Chains A and B, each alone.
Chain A
Amino acid sequence: MTSTTAPGIAAGRLSADALAEAFADLHAPLDPHEVLVAADRCYFCHDAPCVTACPTDIDIPLFIRQISTGTPEAAARTIFDANILGGMCARVCPTEDLCEGACVRELAEGKPVEIGRLQRHATDTLMARQGHPFTRAPETGKRVAVVGAGPAGLSCAHRLAILGHDVTLYDARPKPGGLNEYGIAAYKSTDDFAAREAAWLMQIGGITLETGRALGADLTLDNLSADFDAVFLGVGLGGVNALGADGDDNDSVTDAVSFIAELRQATDLTQLPVGRHVVVIGGGMTAVDAAVQSKLLGAEAVTIAYRRDRDRMGASRYEQDLAASHGVRIMFNVQPHAIHDGEIALEYTADDGTGLKGTGETIRIPADQVFRAIGQTLTTDGGLMIEDRKIKVTGAGRTTRMGVWAGGDCAQGGDDLTVTAVAQGRDSAMDIHSALVGDA
């Protein structure tokens, strides 16, 4: 075994036991009594602010009341009716910015009802049961291609399947799940949850999964449009923005998303290398996920370098605090200037009202490994109109091409969250359904 202070990029900085503990569930499930106490705190608000704050409009007071009366399965139905990925959303949603942030008890006491953990209790309970809780409507004979098996695609496919349509679900990767499977911190999706959830979801039937199929490679919109009655694109953002600094091509520089994907797919974390000194460039959730997991893997020092100030940071305050609690240092108002072997030069920034600019003053910090986490870009537009670097959509995800819908991170309108992708996929499915069979 190496150690946290071993120089360079090395595997096995921590023991297998230590790693298992470090990557355990971030929020362990509530025990049965905790569930009842937590559920009892819900005021069952009228026209509840938490529901308004939920991108998928889950009827939160209703499902919590269902939990409190001993029917978590009914609660799960309430959740899944609105959000079929309610299990994952319970784990990864930035609830502090959404439902729990809007909870009246957050306003009253600074202690919101633990909606996320209650949602997890309900969804875990139902998913642990045999079988799938939904049944399909009679087959319509309509065929829909869903490209991308991430949150948007899975949500869309499931809803279409319920409505009786025949879905072919394509994904470029070997497993479905998209960022749920490849892109979020391991401690938010333990016990292979993303894969289990996708498999559970597919139990609805009527969905044929074809992996290793990518738009722009063997799939084209022309062919899909010819072969199917409708097409939904949920292809996500495949590219990573460049740093635009000297030394961007240094061996120490990698994409945070690749690092996270590798970590998520690793069967033995002791074999996964990580730098002694890690610097993550960026300020979103991906930056935090990469930084915290680097620390958990045994990096001695991890720094997030963000070019703007705290208030502009994409990662929520909760995520920032999570990083800090793991010993991650967050530097604000610094941008990469040059990457050298073993260190990075960061330039301070300031905004004088005409935009963010480097001040010319730099600081050098050790960096064996530098992660790019400054945003992802659309890599496949399929010939659709693009606006603000995303596929232009109107209404429930209608693209500029007849018969083609889009949702999730690749399309306009979301917040690059799992939960918004689920909402968009669901809403597109309903719109596709209307287009295919009419409103009647």
Chain B
Amino acid sequence: MADLTTDFLGIKSPNPFWLASAPPTDKEYNVRRAFEAGWGGVVWKTLGAEGPPVVNVNGPRYGVIYGADRRVLGINNIELITDRPLEVNLEEMARVKADYPDRAMIASIMVPCEEQAWKDILPRVQETNADGIELNFGCPHGMAERGMGSAVGQVPEYIEMVVRWCKKYYDRPVIVKLTPNITDIRKPAQAAKNGGADAVSLINTINSITSVNLDAMSPEPMIDGKGTHGGYCGPAVKPIAMNMVAEIARDPATRGLPISGIGGVSTWRDAAEFMALGCGNVQVCTAVMTYGFKIVSEMKSGLSQWMDEKGYTSTADFVGRAVPNVTDWQYLNLNYVAKAKIDQDKCISCGRCYAACEDTSHQAIAMSEDRTFSVIDAECVACNLCVDVCPVADCITMEAMNPGTIDPRTGKEVQEDYANWTTHPNNPGAVAAE
């Protein structure tokens, strides 16, 4: 069994699976049960300033996108930060941390963009003995209307300013949770780093309307006939989250900045993918809201098995391993030529590859009278759509052509050397290869 112990910003946890700041971490009862189930850490549900807590709607807070068999692919929510008094949360946090010293416990905070507000709350959080704080600059609904959450995360200057206050009044790690509702994720990450943040965590939820009730003509979730945009999360957002993580991981201005990965992590494999893109750990929410705390058992066993198979002895061995292979389009090797290949033994003759290629791609699949489907190499551009739509795993594969052979589509010999767009003759801005 591989050792899953993780050190993130000096915060040790028995595994890299933390629960994200969200409904599952709203109170002592939940967090204790999460720790008993084996979660490595939690980011406590976001705390607000002292005083009357926020209120939530008394109707549906969540909308959903289903896949087949009502499998939850995405959830959006319009729940606000904790609606329990600050004092109650702080007391519970202190008790839980005392009882689970080996687990990571982070306090998520969202208070107004005023120095005094942060100065007031940070010492009280410190007293709980939490391992660090996470600044909630991400929630896109409700609180953003009040100048908090994503309203801060969308203005890099505010991020930097608040982080500086936090580093001034708090001496443990400061993590900045970023909103994806922004055009260039690198800017807020840079601002966080410039302000002295120890790490960023991302993504928070994405502005969304999950569905429209066509009878009531209202977005869902619908509160008395009206709806508002909510924050979208779950497996559906994972590709968006991973791109943003990678952008930060490979940006020279933020390279090396620790990242806690969030966004649709549901299985050990999702976690491994985020970590390969540079995340020191991952945070999970929708998957436990769908299946309960127990899924961490699969995540631990799966990651451990995979690490054993790959010979990794610690999570640090593979964190960031995929980052060097994330590049810009212009640097992709244009001399690499592949062709689709259909395994006739595996083919079940559904013809989806044919329909997709014939109707929407390059007319590179032939269909015979007896429903045999075969690739026309002279037309195939290796776009991969046939692989994507084929219902049978490994039935259609992309096979690289060997250098020296002739690509029947172009009539040109496949070159062994690497050549990209920057030197391509069709590129008006190409620089001559030296």
Contact = CB atoms under 8 A, between A and B. Distances in A.
Given A37-B69, A49-B371, A43 B349 contact: no
A117 B426 CA distance: 57
A45 B68 contact: no
Contact of A46 (B69, B351, B391, B392): B351
B371 A40 contact: no
A243 interface: no
A49 B351 CA distance: 10
Interface in B362-378: 367, 371
A388 interface: no
B350 interface: yes
Interface string B60-99: 0000000011100000000000000000000000000000
Interface in B176-198: none
A108 B352 CA distance: 14
Contact of A45 (B69, B70, B351): B351
A188 B354 CA distance: 38
Nearest to A108: B348
Contacts of A36: 69-70
B401 interface: no
A47 B370 CA distance: 12
Contacts of B337: none
A308 to B, nearest CB: 30
B236 interface: no
Given A49-B371, A108-B392, A43 B69 contact: no
B348 A37 contact: no
A46 B68 contact: no
B32 to A, nearest CB: 35
Contacts of B161: none
A107 B348 contact: yes
A44 interface: yes
B351 A47 contact: yes
Interface in B118-175: none
Given A37-B68, A108-B392, A43 B371 contact: no
Given A37-B68, A108-B392, A49 B349 contact: yes
Contacts of B355: 46
Contact of B352 (A33, A37, A45, A49): A45
Nearest to B355: A46
Contact of B68 (A40, A47, A49, A108): A40
A104 interface: yes
Contact of A104 (B68, B349, B358): B349
A105 interface: yes
Interface residues of A, number: 15
A33 B351 CA distance: 28
For this complex, into which size category does the number of interface residues on chain B fall? 10 to 19
Given A37-B69, A108-B392, A46 B352 contact: yes
Interface string A96-107: 000000001101
A178 to B, nearest CB: 36
A107 B349 contact: yes
A61 to B, nearest CB: 10
Nearest to B69: A37
Nearest to B390: A43
Interface in A72-115: 104-105, 107-108
A37 B66 CA distance: 12
B391 A43 contact: yes
Interface in A14-50: 33, 36-37, 40, 43-49
Interface in A100-145: 104-105, 107-108
Interface in B334-355: 348-352, 354-355
Contacts of A45: 349-352
B395 to A, nearest CB: 10
A67 B352 CA distance: 20
Contacts of B69: 36-37, 40
Given A46-B354, A46-B355, A49-B371, A105 B68 contact: no
Contacts of A33: 70
A36 B70 CA distance: 9
A43 B68 contact: no
B348 A105 contact: yes
Contacts of B392: 108
Contacts of B349: 45, 49, 104, 107
A427 B354 CA distance: 31
Interface string B376-413: 00000000000000011000000000000000000000
Contacts of B351: 45-48
A49 B349 CA distance: 9
A46 B386 CA distance: 13
A257 B68 CA distance: 44
B348 A44 contact: no
A46 B371 CA distance: 10
A48 to B, nearest CB: 8
B354 A104 contact: no
Contacts of A40: 68-69
The 10 closest A-B pairs by CB, nearest first: A46-B351, A46-B355, A40-B68, A108-B348, A104-B348, A45-B350, A104-B350, A43-B350, A107-B348, A37-B69
Interface of B: 68-70, 348-352, 354-355, 358, 367, 371, 391-392
23 contacts: A33-B70, A36-B69, A36-B70, A37-B68, A37-B69, A40-B68, A40-B69, A43-B352, A44-B352, A45-B350, A46-B350, A46-B355, A46-B358, A46-B367, A48-B351, A49-B349, A49-B371, A105-B348, A107-B348, A107-B349, A108-B348, A108-B391, A108-B392
Interface of A: 33, 36-37, 40, 43-49, 104-105, 107-108
Given A36-B70, A104-B349, A107-B349, 19 more contacts: A36-B69, A37-B69, A43-B350, A43-B352, A45-B350, A45-B351, A45-B352, A46-B350, A46-B351, A46-B352, A46-B355, A46-B358, A47-B371, A48-B351, A49-B371, A104-B350, A105-B348, A108-B391, A108-B392
